[in-house]
């Protein structure tokens, strides 16, 4: 199988390449390194079945050539992170919508399979928990820039399904719920790597809001296994799947677990949302996936507990710090 991974130098894309190469796939990865890192794929550069290109998905001729080489496109490239989304809404909307449109346009020419990475953010302010794939989406008002990401990814989903229904381009949509693990950066507001970095440095752990909002954290290794199975599952075409973990935890409890696992003496501090992001910032109180559908289609169940995930992130950050001090 020949696979194109957009956002291939991102933390999910690099883990996915590791897995697919182990399954004898040939990989082409494309990334403009705006949020990805060449360090994530350094270990793959000399692999005979791995090819990478530093390029924007907005470059239509380059993407057309790459799509032509492969059987499957896994479209992970997107604007990511709450901070980036709040600070750069134009970039967020243009990257997400136009980038997906280019991928689908090129895939349509030869009916190539596209797996589109979407997000739990599309559920917006929905309050019925757990979130199911056919639930209504409750997006906040356009004057709240924070919802531009959710809205752009929802449009991506509509567009992908339209290509399937109207032009018979095979598509699969996955909604990620806080995917975490080694290689993830906290640069754009990702909570777990930030908490771990702060704890290891003995700095105060910063919680935005009151910390009672809950999230479910899916281990990247479990997530990429699901993606690898979905692209080989014919009945998954035309469907939407939640992917992640359904172990719910408050952000305050997450901070306490990080402190316990690292042995840190860090204090916890609380920062109001309007200081962290922007005035009137809105957040979702709970974000819990139903995993019934993906379990029914491919037998998916998350294998990695939250404590195990934290331990893996701590180990990774410690190894990075040790490598940095040696260089």
The whole-number mean pLDDT for each consecutive block of 10 residues of the chain, a chain of 327 residues, reads 97 97 98 92 97 96 98 91 70 89 97 97 93 95 84 96 98 97 82 96 95 96 98 98 97 98 97 76 88 98 97 96 70
Alpha helices in the chain (DSSP H): 11-22, 60-69, 82-87, 89-109, 148-167, 191-201, 220-230, 251-262, 273-276, 292-298, 306-326
pTM of the model as a whole: 0.94
Quick check: helix, strand or coil at residue 264?
A: coil
Choose, from 50, 52, 123, 149, the residue flagged as catalytic.
149
Q: What is the pLDDT of residue 189?
A: 62
Report how far residue 244's alpha carbon sits from residue 115's, in angstroms, rounded to the nearest whole number. 16
Q: What is the pLDDT of residue 267?
A: 97
Q: What is the pLDDT of residue 195?
A: 96
Q: What is the pLDDT of residue 79?
A: 73
Q: What is the pLDDT of residue 83?
A: 63
In CATH terms, the superfamily for domain 2-179+219-245+287-303 is: NAD(P)-binding Rossmann-like Domain (3.40.50.720)
Asked if 149 is an active-site residue, the reply is yes
Q: What is the pLDDT of residue 270?
A: 96
Q: What is the pLDDT of residue 293?
A: 98
């Amino acid at each position: 199988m020949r696979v194109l991974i957009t956002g291939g130098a991102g933390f999910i894309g690099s883990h996915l390449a590791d897995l697919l190469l182990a399954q004898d796939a040939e990989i082409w990865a494309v990334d403009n390194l705006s949020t990805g890192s060449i360090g994530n794929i350094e270990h793959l550069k000399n692999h005979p079945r791995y090819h990478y290109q530093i390029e924007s998905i907005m470059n239509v001729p380059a993407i057309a050539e790459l799509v032509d080489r492969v059987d499957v496109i896994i479209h992970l490239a997107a604007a990511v992170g709450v901070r980036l989304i709040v600070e750069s809404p134009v970039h967020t909307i243009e990257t997400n919508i136009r980038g997906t449109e280019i991928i689908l346009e090129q895939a349509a020419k030869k009916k190539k399979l596209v797996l589109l990475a979407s997000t739990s953010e599309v559920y917006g302010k929905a309050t019925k928990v757990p979130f199911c794939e056919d639930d209504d989406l409750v997006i906040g008002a356009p004057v709240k820039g924070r919802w531009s990401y959710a809205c752009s990814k929802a449009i991506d989903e509509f567009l992908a399904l339209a290509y399937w229904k109207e032009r018979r381009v095979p598509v699969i949509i996955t909604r990620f719920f806080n995917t975490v693990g080694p290689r993830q950066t906290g640069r754009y507001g990702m909570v777990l790597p930030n908490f771990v970095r702060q704890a290891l440095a003995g700095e105060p752990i910063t919680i935005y809001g009151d910390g009672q909002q809950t999230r479910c954290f899916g281990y990247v290794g479990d997530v990429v296994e699901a993606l690898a199975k979905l692209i080989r599952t014919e009945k998954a075409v035309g469907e939407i799947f939640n992917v992640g973990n359904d172990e719910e935890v408050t952000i305050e409890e997450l901070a306490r677990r990080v402190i316990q696992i690292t042995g840190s003496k860090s204090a916890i501090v609380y920062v109001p949302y309007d200081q962290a992001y922007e005035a009137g910032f809105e957040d979702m109180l709970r974000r819990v996936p139903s995993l019934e559908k993906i379990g029914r289609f491919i037998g998916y169940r998350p294998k990695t507990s939250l404590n195990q995930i934290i331990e893996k992130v701590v180990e990774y950050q410690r190894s990075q710090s040790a490598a940095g001090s040696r260089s």
